[in-house]
Every structure is written in C-alpha cells, then in structure tokens.
Amino acid sequence: MSFISQSAGYWFLAIFGIAMVLVTCIFARWKQWHSKEGFLVASRQVGWGIGSSSIAASWIWAPALFVSVQLAYQKGLAGIFWFTFPNIIALAIFAILAPRIRKLLPEGYTLPQYIRYRLGSEKVHKIYLFPYFFYQLMAVTVQLFAGGSLVSLLTGIPLTIVMPILAVIALVYTLISGLEASVVTDFVQLAMIFVIGAIILPMTWVAAGGASAISAGLSGIEGIKNIFDPGVAFSLGIVTAIGLIAGAISDQQYWQRTFAIKKNQLVRAFIVGALLFGIVPVALSTLGFLAANPALNVVLPAGVDVSMIGVQTVANLLPTWAVFLFVVMLLSGLSSTLDSGLSAASSLWVTDVKKSRNDNEAIKSARAAMFGISIVGLAIAYAVYFIPQFGLFHLWWVFNTIAACVVVPTVLSLYWSRLDARGVFWGVLVAFVVGLPLFIYGNIIDKPVWTVGASLFIIVVSTVFCLSMPRKTAWQSTEKSE
C-alpha cells in the first residue's frame, strides 16, 4: 500500500537532498573546510545552543522514531518508560564525562585516540576500534534500512532503490564540510521535527477521538497496565538501560561533539540536548497508544515491519498531505544520525587508522572513509532486507550489546588512575567472545533470561578483569594531545 505516487516520491527525495546541501553551503563556514581541525571538530568552536540541538538530533534516530512507538504499541506505558528514561540518562551522563576528557586530552578527536594515549597500548587501541567502527557502521545501516522502509511504505518505491538514494543524499552534503555540515543540518532537521510534530500529532489525536482514544491504548496490545511491570523491567528494562547507556558512551558521535563544543559550554549542551531528545519519543509514543486502541483498527500491510506502526496510524487518521509532512519529519531525524555516523567514522579513520596530520591528507582520507562506510552500511542494509526474521529491534539490541563490552573500561579510564591495559584487553576480549554469542543466542531462542544474563555478564566480566589487574603505580596525565 502506498500513499503517494512513485514519481512524487522521487521528487520528494530530490528536494530534500537539495535542501540539505543548500543549508550546508549557506551556513557552514568556508574557511574551516580546509583544515583537519575544521573538518573533524568544527575548529572546537561549536556553541551550546547549536551543540545541544546537534546532540539531540543525532540521538533521534531509528530507535527513537520507530522503536519507541513500537514499544508503546506493544507494551504500553511500561514500554515507553523503559525506552525513554535510559535514553535521556545516556546523553545526560556526558555532562560529567565530556569535561573530564577535555581536561585530560584537550586537543583530542576520538575516544580510541584517548585510550591509546591513556593506556599506551596499541593492542587495546585496536580492540577498541572494533566496537567504535561497528557502532557507526550500524548507525548508517539502521538509518538506511528504516528510512528506506519509511519512504517505500509511503511511495511504493522499492526499498532496494530507496536505500542507495538516501545514502547518496547524506553523503553529498557531509562530504562538503564534515562535522560542521552535520551540526548545521542537525539544527535545521531538529527544528523540522519539532515544528512538524507540533502540527501533525495534535491533528492525529483529534482525529482519533482525543484523550480517551489515547488512554484506551495505554496498556498496549499486551495489556500491561503497570508502568513498572516487573516482567517488562526485567526483560526490556535491564537490557535496554545497559545497551543505551553503553551505546552512547561507545558512540564516537558524542565524543566528536565533546571535542567540538566549547569547553566551558559542554555541561549545558549535553543537559539541554538530553531534554530536547526526551520530548520526541514521549510525544511519538501517543501514536503507539492509538494503534493499540482496538476501536481504531490500525493494521499494518503484510510484510511491513511492526516498527512502522506509527506511520500507519497517521496514515489511517489523516489525509495524504499530512502523512507526507509526517514522513518529512521522520526522515529529518534519520538523516541527522546518518550524516553524524559518516562524520564520526571519518574522524576514527583519520585519527586512529591513517593517523593523518597534514590538512589536505586528513580531509581526503576523511571523505574516503565516508564513502567507504556508506558502501558497507548499504550492503549490510540489503542483507537485513533479505533476512526479514532479523528486524530493526533485534539489530538495535545487538549493536548496543557490542558497545557494552567497552563501557566499563572507558569510564574507568577517565577516573581510575591505576587502570591497566592488561585488564582492559582481557575483559573486553572475554566479553566479546563469550558474552556477545550468549546474547545473540538468547535473541534467537527468544529467552529474556539469556539476554539479560548475557548483558549483565558483559558488564561484570569487563569490570572484574579491569579491577583485578591494576597497574602498580598511578597514571599521571600530561594533559596534552598526541
């Protein structure tokens, strides 16, 4: 089922892409495009206002836009609570971590770079690069798959055609000026999310029958009446909280912004960014509650992932023009994270793999990395498409679990002076080799005890190895970049 013609869909994508390129060219500062520091960290001159909007927008990706509505639809208030609260904490925690790393490595670019500087171990540095690159790769993959599914549902354009178009759109404007392109388009995209949301969501509520229609679905289709339901807290809450907090800490997008925002404005930027983010899933969750109301008869077309239930709700209740506007809002959120993922991957490649110091070489390498991760991310998105049993929700859980393998040593590296490379290496390795397969197996057999146990094992084993193998003398920071 499609709501507008394919030709209109192609025009929509073209206009969206051109608009983002124009925003980049008009608002990005031209001189900064030509230096490594300008391309990778916007010359460290990002203010808290635009910085907080970029933090919020880059965290408003497929899970915030789709999984939040899916959980509200399936598990009611309990589902959206256990999604939103850990998400806000995941960003707010950077108000503590960001000033700390800027003190220890004021001219840094990436978290793995800091780990190499802090522990003096190439072996640990390399093992760290896997989850950090993998997280950006999955960010690209998920945005392409979710955004492609959204546009395909709206227009009838095959998903296999939409995904490369979305990749090209984000790639074109991010190639221009790197992080600055991401930051300025994030601001515009967040504004679009709030303005369109303020129009479309109230229209949907009124068309459905008002507050009574929303309240009829507050228990979700599973009929869970208690927001603190123990079963949801155990099966969803623990895994989601660990995954989200670990995901943010293991996401180079936020360390890149940490090094780009002015030092004295970091706390304000992350606190405001966390609050701005929280508004979005809470507001969108009402679509899930409406879909769970049996009187409204919201049904997804055959073969469409349940994460699209919010789009289907709007389509059932509002005219085509409103659905179109709603999709512009959702695509803005997806694009903000897609370009952020490209920019973050480029900073990892230039700083931690190529180790480029010359400006021209660094920018050339950064752009090549953006192109490369777009190709690989697109290939994985195609693989997900041809394995329909593995949906967006499971993909999101798995890469958050990979991120959890390094979250404890990352935090300890900032605050515990006796952290040693040996404990980090073995703790992360065992978490990868043992914990991750257990988690994936738990998902395959659909046993919450396995998934929760695997998540807790990953945190515990990495902590035990780090604490049981301390260095003999305390580490002393020189507070210099490499």
How far from the centroid of its chain's Cα atoms is residue 356's Cα?
27
- C-alpha 257/C-alpha 97 separation (Å) is 12
132 falls within a domain: yes
107: pLDDT confidence band, cut at 50, 70 and 90?
very high
Residues 292 and 96: their CA atoms lie apart, in Å, by 39
Any domain includes 444: no
Identity of the residue numbered 384: V
Quick check: is 419 in a domain? no
206 pLDDT band (50/70/90 cuts)? very high
Residue 420 lies in a domain: no
Which residues face 46 on adjacent strands? 261
Cβ-defined contacts of 207-210 (< 8 Å, 24+) = 207/317, 207/318, 208/290, 208/293, 208/296, 208/317
Contacts of 108 (CB under 8 A, 6+ apart): 101, 102, 114, 117, 259, 481, 482
Q: CA triplet 222, 82, 240: central angle to 5 degrees?
A: 105
Q: Is 261 helix (H, G, I), strand (E, B) or coil?
A: strand
Decide: helix, strand or coil at residue 426: helix
Please indicate whether residue 147 or residue 372 has the higher confidence score (pLDDT): 372
Maximum separation of any 2 CA atoms in the chain, in Å: 68
Residue 373 lies in a domain: yes
Confidence of residue 271 (pLDDT cuts 50, 70, 90): very high
| Neighbour tally for 359: CB within 10 Å | 14
- Return the pLDDT at 30: 53
Label residue 476 exposed, middle or buried (CB < 10 Å: 0-12, 13-18, 19+): exposed
CA–CA distance, 381 with 142 (Å, rounded to integer): 7
φ/ψ of 473, rounded to 5, equals: -120, 150
Distances (CA, A) of 325 to 12, 162, 200, 201, 319: 11, 18, 8, 11, 10
CATH value at residue 300: 1.20.1730.10
Residues 6+ apart with CB under 8 A from 257: 46, 51, 54, 55, 58, 179, 183, 269
What's the rounded mean pLDDT across residues 415-438? 91
The pLDDT value recorded for residue 8 is 82
The mean per-residue pLDDT over the stretch 153-167 comes to 88
For the chain, give the percent of residues with pLDDT over 70. 93
Reported as a single tens digit per residue, the pLDDT across 257-266 is 999 999 999 9
| Count of structural domains within the chain | 1
- SS3 for 46? strand
Tell me how far the alpha carbon of residue 146 is from its chain's centroid. 12
**Phi, psi angle pair for 261, to nearest 5°:** -75, 145
Q: What's the mean pLDDT in 444-470?
A: 86
Question: 261 forms bridges with which residues in the sheet?
Answer: 46
> Does a structural domain hold residue 457?
no
70 pLDDT above the threshold of 50:
yes
Taking the mean position of all CA atoms in its chain, how far away is CA 459?
21
pLDDT at position 481 is 45
Whole-number average pLDDT of the chain:
87
- Report yes or no on whether pTM surpasses 0.85: yes
Tell me if residue 299 falls in helix, strand or coil.
coil
Residue 170 contacts residue 342 (beta carbons within 8 Å): yes
**Tally of CB atoms within 10 A around 225:** 11
Compute the distance between CA of residue 286 and CA of residue 217 in angstroms, rounded to an integer.
9
pLDDT band with cut points at 50, 70 and 90 for residue 5: confident
The answer to whether position 218 is within a domain reads yes
pLDDT attached to residue 327: 82
More confident residue, 160 or 303: 160
Structure letter (DSSP) for residue 300: P
At 220-253, the pLDDT tens digits run 999 898 888 888 887 777 877 887 888 889 899 9
- Residue 448, domain member (yes or no): no
What confidence tens digit (pLDDT) does each residue in 19-46 have? 888 887 777 655 556 788 888 998 899 9
**Residue 42 structural domain:** 6-390
- pLDDT, average across residues 431-438: 86
Q: How far apart are CA 391 and CA 145, in angstroms?
A: 10
Quick check: 392 pLDDT over 60? no
What confidence category does residue 270 fall into, taking pLDDT thresholds of 50, 70 and 90? very high
